[in-house]
Structure 1
Amino acid sequence: MTGHAPSNLQFPHHLVAALIKDALAEDLGLAGDITTNAIIAPDDVTEAVLALREDGCIAGLPLAEAAFRALDPGISFAAELRDGETAHAGSVIARVSGSTRTILSAERVALNLVQHLSGVATATRHFVETVHGTHARIVCTRKTTPGLRAFEKYAVRAGGGYNHRFGLFDAVLIKDNHIAAAGGVSGAIELARAANGHMVKIEVEVDTLTQLEEALRHDVDAVLLDNMAVPELKSAVARAKTAKPGILCEASGGVRLVTVRAIAETGVDMISVGALTHSVKALDIGLDF
């Protein structure tokens, strides 16, 4: 695995305090860490490291730091790597020192978040490297963990991927159920365009070349080519680019690491991968004294 932190990576700092507050409250409850408080003296101090147990791409270190410092602002936290950088098993990614009670009580929240987000970044990096040299971008979806969407989408960017829409509010995506409810592709597009201003992008999901032809007769910015076999997908991209040279073509539906290269070689602009967030394996990271 290779890759450096994207130069334009921006962490959603304004959302951190609420997330950490809720996560610590869930873990500490009404009585706090009754194990640590019984065993460790209030004035005891120690040093610890966050270390990788496997190769991976790092994301979420600011959340780990925030978890420790929420319990004790005097905790020292020094990141050895930046989010978006990759490292091998055994590497130290951060050092933390200060109150032993604080380090032990915040450990699980800090690790849960950095492990999960690093898992997202690592999975994304694998997909990005697999399509390297093609035109396609790897993008995430709305299939995210409730409450963690902004952070998971950040982790996708840390892994070298790109973000799709953040929610139902920032772009129109007409999906199969919208089409069914509206009575057809044309009706759904016309209603969406009439209800939204010129600044709002409209993408429509199509499952067949027949649906694609209908969509291309209207004012759409992108087409989502869903669950198409590679030969059909290649034909769909060629047809869409011929009819509307500036249109964006997105492939989606059951995309896996073993299939993504062939999909990318059809000429699509984007490949959306829900598994980056909904089925990701946490990266193994430990805290060692």
Structure 2
Amino acid sequence: MMDILEEDIGLIDITTEGLGFGAKAAKISFAPKTEVIVCGVELVEQMCQRLGLETQCFKQCGDKVRADECVLEAYGRADAVHKVWKASQNLLEFLSGIATKTNHMLLLARLHQPHIELLTTRKIFPRTKALALKAVYAGGGAHHRLGLYDSILVFKQHRVFFESKEAFEAQFAKMKQKFLEKKIAVEVENYEEALYFAHLGTDILQCEKMDFETLKRCVALKKNFPSLLLSATGGIGEHNIEDFAKTGVDFIVTSSPYHAKPSDIRVTIEML
């Protein structure tokens, strides 16, 4: 957390130093202006404590917080309060925004399918993955892939390196045997590909940018392949997630929560 602070603080807070009130006692408090799923409270607490402030948390990561409910207070020197102010506000606003949007999308989807899951992609601004995933989980979602190392997902960009369908199928079978404990996912773009890979023994069909009728046909494959899982991905957001949930897919894959509008967190600073 010091990296986040140092990025903003630099070597000195010129304004506070110039005004000369740094040694006075102060309190800083944080509360959302609208209802949110809050995320980042314990990170802000750590930032405050690193600067010597005493803290009191009223909410935890993942809590639903009403407008104007205080989530955290910190007490101590005024110069420390001003150093932690903007960095902590930014962290709470961005993470709570992602958590709140994730939760809203998931609730919309579960209006039509109670057991559907919302998973987010690795299509994210570099160096922010850990924080963004923390917010997604706070909102009730989960990750689709952390990276290349944690799951198997076959794209058409992989298949172009095989001279024939037979060569690909032989290597596909070897891969299933080698990575016995991993599910094999394949991105498909139409029903014919979905049927082919279902017969090949794919565990998960990732249905990319399909229309709803095609997606429903793919979901119907579960009748003949009971263990098959299907996901929908590509351009899914709050405006259309209900329609995708109605098709019967097992989960939604999206990067939409990463682009959430930051929540509006009110920061109040007082002299004690």
User: How high is the TM-score relative to the length of structure 2?
Assistant: 0.90
Equivalent residue for 2:51, pick from 71, 86, 89: 71
The alpha-carbon distance between structure 1 residues 35 and 161, as it changes in their structure 2 partners (threshold 3 A), is: same
Corresponding residue of 1:249:
230
Aligned to 1:17: none
**Can you give the 5+ residue segments of structure 2 that lack an aligned partner in the other structure?**
none
Contact (CA 8 Å) 1:185, 1:215: kept in 2 or not?
no
Q: Percent identity?
A: 27
| Residue 22 of structure 2 is aligned to residue 47 of structure 1 | no
Shift of 1:143: 1.8
Structure 1: give runs of 5+ residues left out of the alignment. Answer: 1-19
Q: Which residue of 1 aligns with 2:255?
A: 274
Alignment deviations for residues 100-146 of structure 1 (CA, whole Å, 9 cap, x no partner): 11111111211111111101100011111112241321111112232
- Quote the Cα distance in structure 2 between the aligned partners of 1:257 and 1:185: 39
1:219 deviates by: 2.8
The aligned amino acid for 2:134 is: Y
Deviation of 1:182 after TM superposition, in Å, equals 4.3
Kindly indicate whether residue 209 of structure 2 is the aligned counterpart of residue 231 of structure 1.
Answer: no
Asked if the contact 1:58–1:84 (Cα under 8 Å) also holds between the matched residues in 2, the reply is yes
Tell me whether 1:214 sits opposite 2:192 in the alignment.
no
Q: TM-score by structure 1 length?
A: 0.85
Matched letter for residue 171 of structure 1:
S
CA separation of 1:172 and 1:235: change in aligned 2, threshold 3 A: same
Matching of residues 1-289 of structure 1 within 5 Å = 20-29=1-10, 31-72=11-52, 75-133=53-111, 134=113, 135-182=115-162, 191=171, 194-195=174-175, 196-239=178-221, 241-277=222-258, 279-289=259-269
Maintained 8 Å contact 2:41/2:61: yes
Deviation, 1:59, is 0.7
**CA distance in 2: counterparts of 1:156 and 1:25, whole angstroms:** 26
CA 209–26 in structure 1, closer or farther in 2 if over 3 Å, else same: same
Deviations 1:139-198 (A, max 9, x none): 111122322212211211211122222111100111232234446887556546535421
Where 1:92 maps in the other structure, the secondary structure is coil
Q: Which amino acid aligns with 1:83?
A: C
Query: What RMSD over aligned residues (CA atoms) do the two structures have, in Å?
Result: 2.0
SS in 2 for 1:211: helix
